[in-house]
Structure 1
Amino acid sequence: MNRSKKVLILTCSHGSGHKMVSAALKDAFEQKGYTAVVRDLFNETNRLVNTIIEKSYLLSYNIGSSFYKKMYYDMEKDAHSKFIYRLWTLTEKTLLDMVDEIHPDCIVNTYPYTVSSILKQAHYPDIPVYTVVTDFCIPAAWQHEDTDKFYVACQNVEDHLVDYGIPAERILKTGIPIREAFYGHYDRHRLQEKYHLDPDKRTLVICAGTYGVVKNLRTICEKADSLHNLQTIVVCGKNKSLYKELSAVSFKNTQIFGFVSDIHELYCCGDFMMTKPGGITLSEAVTTRMPLILHNPVPGQEGENAE
């Protein structure tokens, strides 16, 4: 009896999108009979370094768009800088140990772990390395000529890869993987009853982001709450402080949620959504045909996603 093929999916905790894509891929592989293993390379290499990188990312993201823009585009100019090289050197042993432990038939990146392509020729030339790009753009850090296949969201990403020197036959425009639930058909009226929504009012869904990156959210909610023909659902994700702050306000036409596992149901109830333009949220909205208000995109991948 042949063994089940094994897939090593590499993810990262820097932003929730990479983990969501990894989970969607894992489910899809397992439905086809594969064994899929999801591992966080940075975290397994060094938890302290991983935490520092994640906090630095969030800090730069929140202290001002001009700072984040400079950091992002400086990285674009030198994606293979000494700093990045040292990071990859730090992760080499961890990745090789993973490969020895799991013996994967392929490696799938949902984060720009180009180290998996850098090590390929010398250490596992027969294991294909695939990269699933989780935005509607492709920062330079994702690009490496020894990646066997790129799975991308749109023509814009393919054009950038071709300009970089990747042959077009190694690029597939598949869209960004999202959970199967977003492809389902649901009874809108039943869901409106479940979430205590008035079917005669328009419903605005606000995805605040796990890290609360929609600014001035309380003010926005207060203004939306004052409109007689509108009801609002705010999803705070795992941001407990934001959930606590908004829950303390006496809204009349606004419901506050924390993490919602069945968030596809809220997409079904909503008439339009306000959000930051992350790759996963945009993919979910496109799939469910949800009209979007893209709120104050930060220059960098958010700005390029919005375009």
Structure 2
Amino acid sequence: MKKVYILTVTAGAGHLRAAEALKKAFLLLRPEWDVKLINVLDFTNPWFKKIYANSYLNIVNQVPEFWGLLYDRTDDKNIVKKTSKMQSLFNKISAIRLIEYIRKNPPDIAICTHFLPAEILASQKTKHKIRFPWVCVVTDYEAHMFWIYPNADIYIAATEHTKFQLRRNGISEKKILPLGIPIDPIFSQKKSKELLFKKFELKSALRIVLVMSGGFGAGPVENIVEQLQMVDFPIQIMVVTGRNKQLEEKLKVKKRIKPTKIFGFVDNIDELLTVADLLVSKAGGLTTSEALAKGVPMVIVNPTPGQEERNSDYILEHGAGIRVNKIDDLGFRVESVLCEKQRLNKMKLNAFKIGKPLSAITSAKEIIKRLL
């Protein structure tokens, strides 16, 4: 029986969802294996865990321009070289317990869906402290310098362009597999739209706009829903508020012109995307990949500077969505897409063409074939 560690960090939901998708894929292929999902922050000091987990979301939500500047400035070989020793020392001190655990309980392979554990494993491998192979999974459509660790045995990349970026920054081409960001294998399953329309009590004559609140915050989501009420086209709206119970209750209370269904935390996003005609969302790597897997064009609202802007570039370049920089323009822009059936269908086809619904399964298969 093989032992597989999937190392991640709960700073933003995408890294964790990619890790969960890979775990599910490995267990589907090798149910007898011991596959562990490890949140690296659980092995760090409590203060470090709290600061690291919250700092990204706090910066992105409160000062997104600063995050964009930080992202751009650190995406530079010279900057990374200057800060790498300090970063490595800081991470090592914070992750002493993780390093000890891995040395005492070595896996047959480790897979990283965040650059923090990738940096730790790369450092340990350079010092010959670990002997097992490890895999780096880039969870965005652009490979930032923080993802560059040449001693990784395999890289899973989103696209050919991501592969080019990794290769340009010193990763051997033979190590890079552009198989897509790993998403739950359930996105590859075809489900009956007719049955789902009945399940969610939807009207088949109306177009469906799905709003996912992740990354927006409460205020913008309320504004988005109100803007969609102004669309002069027969639509119905579904809103997923996630774990924000206050937002869920607030949205449920208000009466609206357009049929509007409010969902809290759900575990069937694949079903909601199956019936959706458009997705209004931020452009996180996992959300983007899930939408593409279901052939749903994205309406990307005011993407956060940094990786979200790069992800949205990919969508726009392939004609699989539109970008709306101001929420006040949202209703007009959505209406302009829905009013042109040919345009909407073309966008759906474009999304479907670049979607990779089996990304987690194909990644797990390649890892098994090459390293286990």
- TM class by shorter chain equals over 0.9
- Pairwise CA RMSD of aligned residues? 1.8
The 8 Å contact of residues 88 and 123 in structure 2, kept in 1 or not, is answered as no
Match of 2:16 among 10, 16, 19: 19
Output one character per residue of 1:19-41: Cα deviation in whole Å (capped at 9) or x when no partner: 11111111111122221111111
Per-residue displacement from partner, 1:263-282 (whole Å, max 9, x unpaired)?
A: 11101111111110111011
Contact 2:218-2:247 within 8 A present in 1 as well: no
Q: In 1, Cα distance between the equivalents of 2:299 and 2:218?
A: 12
Offset at 1:165? Answer: 1.1
3-state secondary structure, aligned to 1:250:
coil
Unaligned segments of structure 1, at least 5 residues: none
Query: After the TM superposition, which of the residue ranges 29-38 and 85-94 deviates more from structure 2?
Result: 85-94
Match of 2:278 among 247, 264, 272: 272
Instruction: Give the paired residue count.
Output: 303
Among all aligned residue pairs of Structure 1 and Structure 2, give the percentage whose two residues are the same amino acid.
29
In the alignment, the residues of structure 2 paired with residue 131 and residue 107 of structure 1 have an alpha-carbon distance, to the nearest angstrom, of 9
What's the counterpart of residue 29 of structure 1?
26
Q: 2:188 aligns with which of 183, 186, 208?
A: 183
| Residues 225 and 231 in structure 1, CA contact (< 8 A), matched pair in contact too | no
Question: Residue 282 of structure 1: SS of its match in structure 2?
Answer: helix
| Deviations 1:67-96, CA, capped at 9 Å, x for gaps | 111122233233351552343222442232
**Would the alpha carbon gap of residues 147 and 14 (structure 1) be closer, same or farther in structure 2, given more than 3 Å must change?**
same
The TM-score normalised by the length of structure 2 is: 0.77
Describe the SS at the equivalent of 1:126. coil
What are the equivalent positions in structure 2 for 1:1-307 lying under 5 Å apart?
A: 4-33=1-30, 34-77=33-76, 78-79=79-80, 81=83, 83-112=86-115, 113=117, 114-209=119-214, 211-213=215-217, 216-227=220-231, 229-252=234-257, 253-307=259-313
Q: Is the 8 A contact 2:106 2:132 kept in 1?
A: no
Per the TM alignment, residue 235 of structure 1 is displaced from its structure 2 partner at its CA by 0.7
On the 8 A contact 1:213/1:276 being kept in 2, the answer is no
In terms of fraction of residues, the more helix-rich structure is 2
1:212 CA drift (Å): 3.3
* Range 159-168 or range 238-247, more displaced: 238-247
Distance, in Å, in 2 between the alignment partners of 1:154 and 1:41 is 27
What SS class does the counterpart of residue 212 from structure 1 fall into? coil
TM-score (norm 1): 0.93
Amino acid at match of 1:148: D
Gaps of 5+ in 2: 314-372
Alignment partners' CA distance in 2, 1:168 and 1:254: 48
C-alpha change, 1:87 and 1:236, in structure 2 (3 Å) is farther
- 1:92/1:122 CA distance change after superposition, 3 Å: farther
Q: Matched residues in 1 for 2:177 and 2:95: separation? A: 28
C-alpha change, 1:167 and 1:214, in structure 2 (3 Å) is farther
